[in-house]
Structure 1
Amino acid sequence: MSVKHAISRGLELGRSVFQLGLLKSAGRVAAKLRADRLRVGPSVRTVQPQAFLPSRYRYYRTSLKGLAAQLQSASFRRRFIGGSPRNRAVFLAFGLGVGLIEQQLEDDRKSAATCQEIQAVFSKRKFQTPLKPFTSGYKLEDYIIGNQIGKGSNAAVYEAAAQFAPPKDADSPAVQMREDEEESQRTPSLTCCSLRNFPMAIKMMWNFGAGSSSEAILKSMSQELVPAGPLALKKETEQVTLDGHFGVVPRRVSAHPNVIRVYRAFTADVPLLPGAQEEYPDVLPARLNPEGLGNNRTLFLVMKNYPCTLRQYLEVSAPNRKQGSLMVLQLLEGVDHLCRQGVAHRDLKSDNVLLEFDSDGCPRLVITDFGCCLAQSDSSLQLPFNSVWVSRGGNASLMAPEVATAVPGSGVVIDYSKADAWAVGAISYEIFGQQNPFYRKVGLESRNYQEKQLPRLPSSVPADVQLVVRLLLRRNPSKRPSARVAANMLHLSLWGRRALANQDSAGMKKLADWLLCQSALVLLKGCSGPRGNRVEAELQRSFLANLDLEDLRTAVGFLLYGREQRQACVLSV
């Protein structure tokens, strides 16, 4: 072995030993401490740059150079004590390798501080609500109700307009889907007057067993209030204790461009709305239908009126590859926002995603229908599963494997922290024009499918997006990326390709420089007005507002791994 080879071997040995030992454990502790510090409650605090390692590990950082010097000194002493020249060279290089870690720690500290500073800047930028604020609207009589635009298993949705701000044409037709004559250009749309005259939607919950008192209704249906705004309930109603489905007060999530916003919530007598006798006669109270089983009063939710659901849109339109990538990314951003605030949706499907278009015609997705959500006060996203009577959630076809295979028993807990992200992976097939593999027509079941059974996405889908979908559908949640990591992968794939060039998972300096440039660019675009693609601008702001060094490092590692796999496949062919 040559001296050059021996020194090289020692350098690698020194780096690998300390990276696998010291840095791995230190990184985990640092990530946990940063997560506890940054993700507390719905409000975001300004984060001051701090050391990358916690205080208990700072000794190692400050003494690495001294340790390297001791090792080098010991190697010279060994020269006079004995030992082969080759072993002395390896030992000397080992000490040099330890000294190089100090520079890596400094780079990590700077990268972490950069992420925290950028996050602090963009966290202060609040999402603007799509509807103009209004101060009334706490009674059903305050609204003009049009035709029915949707119906689910526990509610009906009607188009509406504020009585205190009447529409220009009260006799305008209901919201309708319109298809163009040419098959290749089929896209869902709304008549302009329909949205202009009925900009709101009212969701009327079906009340079978909650009783007819406002207190009982709010307690029974409190999960629906998770996306409610601060003024959704009257102040006196807000004082009512809201016990969630699992015996705790449900959390309220802050506004986000990819999560529905409930502007008003109130109880009222069930009216005889258009289509009620034909569509849902059994849920009507006896005063409206002698054979009805419903109670006299129920909960009403006022929201923005969206043109269609994701399922309706995909039935008549096929988004291009970039739009499809942005749609998957929006779902991941919405799920990550919910997870950060301690909410698991548990019923994510294309029917529960609403859709509109931005100024450039790009679809904007909004997650809705929180009736099955888990919103406990401790934000753990873990549900004790000690009885068969505990609900796993809705939509059994899109339950993540760890949820579908859980067996009730003493001490059993279902972890929902990555369950919604798994559902996004399944919905991605629909976005890219294929059947959802977990619906009955395809035949896979989340309880027992094998990852190799998953159908391939079309070749037109970007390779990085295909990688994200495969990772999201991993059976083992510990090997599955979180919604945040998966979203970061798509962000880097869409806008950070140059930053990933010649990048390794340990060195983040080049990526940190790109983040600074990206932040400046997004801020300049924001100052110049709402130009360009608004969906892309919202996504970029969400990315920068949730920066975390460990999440970024994990995302980069997944992307590099996927590209290495693809290169290996090409070489093998």
Structure 2
Amino acid sequence: MMWNISAGSSSEGILSSMSQELVPASSSAFPGEFGAIASPRKPVVGKKRLKPHPNIVQVIRAFTSTVPLLPGATVDYPDVLPSTLNPSGIGHSRTLFLVMKNYPYTLRQYLCERSPSPRLATMMLLQLLEGVDHLVRHGVAHRDLKSDNILVEIDSAGFPGLVITDFGCCLADEKIGLKLPFSSWYVDRGGNSCLMAPEVVTATPGPGVVIDYTKSDAWAVGAIAYEIFGTGNPFYGRAGVALESRSYRDEELPPVPEVAPPEVKKLVGRLLRRDPAMRLSARVAANVLHLGLWGEDLLSQKELRLNKMVGWLLHQSAATLLVDRLGGESSVETRLKRCFLANLDYQELCEAAALLCAWRSMAL
């Protein structure tokens, strides 16, 4: 149930005001009943729709209905209730409801209760990068990535599976893609100012000014990596470090915890570069982690040759297909490999391999 403060009580008004929440919803999410606000033949005008992805939450159904008085509502969220339920409430009587899978944790809750091993933490970081890469490929910027907006479930092998949720601040416009005209301070730049990428938070409005969000979510993933590997997010002013995305220098970034693999430490620094031109894309960063996790035989070669690369990719493909066929429902690890193979670009893979080899040579 979404909070409805300013959308009015008509389905049309709710649809217009909260359309960003429907970006991860497929056309089948609108069944044409129970107060549904749209139909498969009438998508939200101008808004992109995401194809399903294992690291993006899926909205199964969406509809509008009357706000109910749920147990504890008058204590937990009295101000957003409609006046019919709370005389001093400022909410409207009707709102948007999204039906999704139930996840036991947010990422913040999960990390408060558990300390994942370095390998599991690396796969968690990789899942966020795969999810962000999917957004970028579809011209969508989340713009509010934080550990509270990432959900976690545990698969049968004990691996944490992550999905990105809460698209209320996203940029998903068919006309402008990832480049937002910034003509005045009234233009919405997104939420969570602490984890707003430098090129976004320092932008000054004016004629012809455009904010490019292509690598902004990847920057936020780099900041969240500190939390995943067991320390405070430096942009929240925790762990004795207080950085601001508006003014920090690259050399001021604190070291990633020692438990993290060497390639992760290098990777986080490259994700958090102030200059987006020097920052890694989510795809190349994801490829680095894929190679680090499963490409040791390939990286041990003195020279990366095409035939060796192709041989390794064929091996990965065959192994992934076999696990899929024999193992029933895919594990987190298998889904990650499928994402990697589905989005394979030879140049991006070579860029990641060259980076990883260079970093390892520097460490020798």
TM range (shorter): over 0.9
**Residue aligning to 2:180:** 383
Q: From 440, 445, 457, give the equivalent of 2:256.
A: 457
Larger radius of gyration: 1
Distance in 2 of aligned mates of 1:477 and 1:565: 24
Unaligned runs of 5+ in 1: 1-203, 244-248, 568-573
Contact 1:504 1:560 in 2 (8 A): no
Look up the SS of the partner of 1:528 in the other structure: helix
Tell me how far 1:228 sits from its aligned partner: 0.7
Q: Does residue 322 in structure 1 map to residue 119 in structure 2? A: yes
- The code of the aligned residue for 2:44 comes to L
Q: Does residue 251 in structure 1 map to residue 48 in structure 2? A: yes
**Residue aligning to 2:198:** 401
Look up the SS of the partner of 2:27 in the other structure: coil
**Residue aligning to 1:242:** 44
**Residue aligning to 1:180:** none
**Residue aligning to 1:477:** 276
Distance in 2 of aligned mates of 1:209 and 1:457: 42
Higher RCO structure (Cα 8 Å, ≥6 apart): 2
Distance in 2 of aligned mates of 1:253 and 1:558: 31
Greater Cα shift, 557-566 or 463-472: 557-566
Q: Does residue 264 in structure 1 map to residue 61 in structure 2? A: yes
**Residue aligning to 1:339:** 136
Look up the SS of the partner of 2:211 in the other structure: strand
Contact 1:345 1:370 in 2 (8 A): yes
Look up the SS of the partner of 2:100 in the other structure: strand
Q: From 283, 291, 296, give the equivalent of 1:497.
A: 296
Tell me how far 1:409 sits from its aligned partner: 0.8
Q: Does residue 223 in structure 1 map to residue 25 in structure 2? A: no
Distance in 1 of aligned mates of 2:111 and 2:247: 28
Contact 1:285 1:293 in 2 (8 A): yes
Higher helix share: 1
RMSD, matched Cα: 1.5
Distance in 2 of aligned mates of 1:392 and 1:519: 40
Q: Count the aligned residue pairs.
A: 357
Q: From 168, 173, 192, give the equivalent of 1:371.
A: 168
Q: Does residue 514 in structure 1 map to residue 316 in structure 2? A: no
Contact 2:219 2:271 in 1 (8 A): yes
Distance in 1 of aligned mates of 2:229 and 2:195: 17
- The code of the aligned residue for 1:552 comes to L
Alignment of 1:557-572 (within 5 A): 557-567=354-364
Distance in 2 of aligned mates of 1:306 and 1:550: 36
- The code of the aligned residue for 1:510 comes to K
Unaligned runs of 5+ in 2: none
Q: From 410, 413, 416, give the equivalent of 2:213.
A: 416
- The CA deviation string for residues 91-119 of structure 1, in whole angstroms up to 9 with x for no partner, is xxxxxxxxxxxxxxxxxxxxxxxxxxxxx
Cα 1:209/1:240, change in 2 over 3 Å: farther
**Residue aligning to 2:247:** 448
Contact 2:26 2:59 in 1 (8 A): yes
Tell me how far 1:540 sits from its aligned partner: 0.4
Contact 1:215 1:240 in 2 (8 A): no
Tell me how far 1:241 sits from its aligned partner: 6.1
Look up the SS of the partner of 2:59 in the other structure: coil
Give aligned-pair identity as a percent: 58
- The code of the aligned residue for 1:527 comes to R
Q: From 86, 93, 107, give the equivalent of 1:296.
A: 93
Tell me how far 1:503 sits from its aligned partner: 4.8
Q: Does residue 542 in structure 1 map to residue 339 in structure 2? A: yes
Contact 2:223 2:235 in 1 (8 A): yes
Tell me how far 1:229 sits from its aligned partner: 2.3
